[in-house]
């Protein structure tokens, strides 16, 4: 009787491991898909953080 219980526990553990591995694989594939299509929409020019946050040039009155 204990052999049957032990074999059931092993198969349940194997099922959980397979399910977890498939979930991780799907998560990684979704992340890869997002990154690929996110990069396709990027402009060709190199992004400059200085230009993004630069203040407009205005004359400063004393």
Given this model, what pLDDT does residue 26 score? Answer: 96
Phi and psi, residue 37, nearest 5° = -75, -25
- Report if residue 22 sits inside a domain: yes
Helices (H), the chain: 2-40, 49-52
- Report if residue 61 sits inside a domain: no
Q: What's the total number of domains in the chain? A: 1
- Report if residue 57 sits inside a domain: no
- Report if residue 27 sits inside a domain: yes
- Report if residue 59 sits inside a domain: no
Q: Which two tokens stand for residue 15?
A: 């099922």
Q: Which two tokens stand for residue 55?
A: 């203040």
Given this model, what pLDDT does residue 21 score? Answer: 93
Given this model, what pLDDT does residue 8 score? Answer: 65
Can you give the pLDDT of all 62 residues of the chain as single tens digits? 566 666 666 777 888 888 999 999 999 999 988 887 776 666 666 767 777 677 676 666 66
- Report if residue 58 sits inside a domain: no
Domain of 45, in residue numbers: 2-52
- Report if residue 35 sits inside a domain: yes
Predicted TM-score (pTM) of the model is 0.51
């Amino acid at each position: 009787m204990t052999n049957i219980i032990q074999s059931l526990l092993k198969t349940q553990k194997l099922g959980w491991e397979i399910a977890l591995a498939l979930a991780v694989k799907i998560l990684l594939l979704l992340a890869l898909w997002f990154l690929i299509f996110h990069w396709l929409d990027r402009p060709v020019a190199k992004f400059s953080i200085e230009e993004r946050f630069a203040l407009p040039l205005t004359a400063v009155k004393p």
